Amino acid sequence: MSQIGLVVHPSRAIDGPLDALKRWAGGREVSVVQVRDSGQRRQVAVEGDGADCDVIVSIGGDGTTLAALRAGARAGRPVLGVACGSLGVLTAVAAHGIDGALERFSGGDWVPRPLPALDITGGGTRARFALNDAAIVRGGGGQLRLAASIDGILFARLAGDGCVVSTPIGSSAYALAAGGPLLTPDAEAFLLTPLPTHGGYHPPLVVSSTSTVELEVRGGYGGSRLEMDGQVVENELERLKVEYRPAAATLVGFVDQEPFLTGLRRRNILTDSPRILAERDPEAGRD
């Protein structure tokens, strides 16, 4: 390697892994630059172009890794996610393992994990992409009216808080909290999950990767807004088109890292039935 790009958490304590990365790079005459991102307010290295880097390293959590993946997608570079805190869905290694992960990447001992994106166009919004999800939500008081169609065929008209369109990785985030199903990371599909509504029946819908979701939006007196990967990007929407884009970004993975479902169980996002837990540990839950 000749250059490493950095994207860092804006406030979390990152001195340990950051110092380890710089020591590793300094010992191998590898330069370190900070890659520009709209959310970067913390300067830890000179600014550089992601396209000139061999790898972009995120130090923080899944949100920081999403920012790095957006930069990596634009630059065509892989992203190594380093967790400061608990390991998330997108972070491959814990903070104390950053030097070992860099050594493995440098030696070619890594697995590329291609991640899809959602291309969002239409209405007044310029073309954008989301790697986790796009949420169309009410901007304040009053219900949002929304009509969702798949390949020109009406799925549902609903009044309520809005909806979330998610990639497979994003299915374990906002969509899951809203009652949507999980998609495994390698599923070639995406997900439309209605948020709480005023009556009606419109379950979460798994959409083929070859299909197009069209959303017609009419906000209440509080208006509407579009959130992509957790960031508000536009207000007062009217019409959006969402399409699946395969292999939009590349995440650095390792053959021995924690599997997706195991990580969700460790973080208690997936939990066993209380009866099963009681059978395994009869003393659990007793006063």
Q: Tokens 């599909």, residue?
A: 189
How high is the pLDDT of residue 174? Answer: 92
Reading the block at residue 261, the tokens are 């479902």
Distance between CA 149 and CA 241 in Å, rounded?
Answer: 10
Q: Where are the domains of the chain?
A: 3-109, 119-243
pLDDT at 38: 66
Q: In this predicted structure, what is the pLDDT of residue 273?
A: 93
**Set 37, 54, 62, 133: catalytic member:** 62
pLDDT less than 70: residues of the chain: 38-40, 86-87, 123-126, 283-287
Active site residue 62: yes
The predicted pLDDT at position 125 comes to: 58
pTM over 0.75: yes
Instruction: Please state, as a whole number, how many other Cβ atoms lie within 10 Å of the Cβ of residue 143.
Output: 18
Edge-to-edge strand ranges of the sheet holding 189-194: 205-208, 189-194, 162-166, 133-138, 224-228, 231-235
> What topology is assigned to 3-109 in CATH?
Rossmann fold (3.40.50)
Q: What is the CATH number of domain 119-243?
A: 2.60.200.30
- pLDDT of 123: 63
Residue 4: which residues within 8 A CB-CB, separation 6 or more? Answer: 21, 25, 30, 31, 32, 33, 53, 54, 55, 56, 57, 102
